[in-house]
Chain A
């Protein structure tokens, strides 16, 4: 149902924007928690770029929403949408929302959340549905996904396994020579 997808998307985005702006409320759902975590990790890793985007937000929320729509259209013009691109777009929208809020436009975050939710659920609703909706997002980013400690542990395990295979291979070559 496009209506429910749009509502769910708007709620998730509003929650993320409020959290990004310093809101201390607990995430209302596991999906919201996953979005907060994945977006925070992406924003942390690419902070210089997102900081440089903040001045793009004008004082008027409708201008920022129009800018967001133009960026979204160009973003997916080459290669379509992916969960990574969607997350980058959400973090970009969060940057604009935070900049608007800082300039005293309290309605900015809600306006941007509504605009992005309409774009994602209406114009890109088929893609979202085909990829499992926000449950698909959770499956993609949720599993141990963006926790730095988990990632380093996974990568360490992979390196150890590769090293183990390498040593075993070398030993085998030495034995058969």
Chain B
């Protein structure tokens, strides 16, 4: 039965949702951390150019 094969191959919906939620949150955290570090690096370049 084609329908049965598809259900068996696909990961459970709950697992897919958990992965998507996790990736979304990691993306948010990563982007926030990236921006924060870029600002810090810019401030260091402006106020401590010798380092």
**Chain B residues in 8 Å Cβ range of A158:** 43, 46-47
Chain B contact residues: helix, strand, loop or mixed: helix
Give chain B interface residues in 12-51, CB to chain A under 8 Å. Answer: 18-20, 22-27, 29-37, 40-41, 43-44, 46-48, 51
We find that the number of chain B residues with CB closer than 8 angstroms to chain A is 26
Partner of A84, one of B19, B24, B30, B41: B30
Tell me, rounded to whole Å, the shortest Cβ–Cβ distance linking A167 to chain B.
18
Contact of B30 among A74, A85, A155 (CB under 8 A): A85
In the assembled complex, the CB of B28 is this many whole angstroms from the nearest CB of chain A, namely 9
Q: List 11 A-B contacts (CB under 8 A).
A: A49-B25, A49-B29, A56-B22, A75-B23, A140-B41, A144-B51, A145-B37, A145-B40, A145-B41, A151-B40, A154-B43
A107 vs B36: C-alpha distance in the bound complex, in angstroms?
35
Q: Kindly state the separation between the CA atoms of A161 and B40 in the bound complex, as whole angstroms.
A: 15
A74 partner, pick from B20, B31, B44, B51, beta carbons under 8 A: B20
Taking a contact as CB atoms under 8 Å apart, the answer to whether B23 and A84 are in contact is no
Q: Residues of B with Cβ closer than 8 Å to A?
A: 18-20, 22-27, 29-37, 40-41, 43-44, 46-48, 51
Instruction: Let me know if B30 and A154 touch, CB within 8 A.
Output: no
Across the interface, name the chain B residue whose C-beta is closest to A76. B27
CB-CB nearest in chain A for B34: A84
The answer to whether A75 and B51 have CB atoms under 8 Å apart is: no
B44 with A154: CB separation less than 8 A? yes
Are B23 and A74 interface neighbours, CB within 8 A? yes
